[in-house]
Amino acid sequence: MSWTFPLSERVRNLKPSPTLAIDTKAKTLKAKGVDIINLSAGEPDFDTPEHIKEAAIKAIRDGFTKYTPVGGIPELKEAIAAKFEQDYKLTYRPEQIMVSTGGKQVLYNVAQAILDPGDEVIIPVPYWVSYPAIVELAEGTVRFLPSDPDKDFALDLAELGSMLTSKTRAIILNSPSNPTGAVYSREDLMTVAALAVEHNFVIITDDIYDQIRFDNKGPENIASLVPEAQDHVIVVNGVSKTYAMTGWRIGYLAGPQAVVKAATKIQSQSTSNPNSIAQKAVLAALTGPQDEVLKMKKAFLERKNYIMERLEAIPGISCVKPKGAFYVFPDLSSYYGKKAFGKEINNSLEMADYLLEESRIAGVPGIAFGDDRFMRFSYATDLSIIQEGMDRLRVALSNLNS
- Where do contacts with ligand GLU occur on this chain (CB under 6 A)? 17, 19-20, 41-42, 104, 129-130, 178
140 versus 251: smaller Cβ distance to ligand GLU? 251
Q: How far is the CB of 314 from ligand PMP (least distance, A)?
A: 25
Q: Which of 238, 274, 330, 365 binds ligand PMP (CB under 6 A)?
A: 238
Site string for ligand PMP, 178-217 (x = CB under 6 A): x---------------------------x-x---------
Q: Which does 220 bind (CB under 5 to 8 A by kind): ligand PMP, ligand GLU, none?
A: none
Q: Which of 18, 42, 181, 219 binds ligand PMP (CB under 6 A)?
A: 42
Q: Does 279 bind ligand PMP (CB under 6 A)?
A: no
Alpha-carbon distance of 149 to 319, in angstroms, equals 8
Q: How far is the CB of 209 from ligand PMP (least distance, A)?
A: 7
Q: Which of 174, 175, 211, 275 binds ligand PMP (CB under 6 A)?
A: 174
Site string for ligand PMP, 83-102 (x = CB under 6 A): -------------------x
Q: Which does 219 bind (CB under 5 to 8 A by kind): ligand PMP, ligand GLU, none?
A: none
Give the closest residue to 241 by CA, choosing from 38, 41, 26: 41
Q: Which does 238 bind (CB under 5 to 8 A by kind): ligand GLU, ligand PMP, none?
A: ligand PMP
Written in H, E and C, the secondary structure of 259-311 is HHHHHHHHHHCCCCCCCHHHHHHHHHHHHCCCHHHHHHHHHHHHHHHHHHHHH
List the beta bridge partners of residue 144: 123
Long-range pairs, 245-249, Cβ under 8 A, ≥24: 245/48, 245/52, 245/278, 245/281, 245/282, 245/285, 246/43, 246/44, 248/48, 248/56, 248/275, 248/278, 248/281, 248/282, 249/101, 249/102, 249/105, 249/274, 249/275, 249/278
Alpha-carbon distance of 121 to 115, in angstroms, equals 9
Q: What angle do CA 96, 102, 105 make, to 5 degrees?
A: 75
Alpha-carbon distance of 136 to 141, in angstroms, equals 6
Alpha-carbon distance of 246 to 179, in angstroms, equals 17
List the beta bridge partners of residue 38: 362
209 versus 354: smaller Cβ distance to ligand PMP? 209
Q: Which does 206 bind (CB under 5 to 8 A by kind): ligand GLU, ligand PMP, none?
A: ligand PMP
Q: Does 103 bind ligand PMP (CB under 6 A)?
A: yes
240 versus 276: smaller Cβ distance to ligand PMP? 240
Residues that bind ligand PMP (CB under 6 A): 42, 102-104, 128, 174, 178, 206, 208, 238, 240, 246, 251
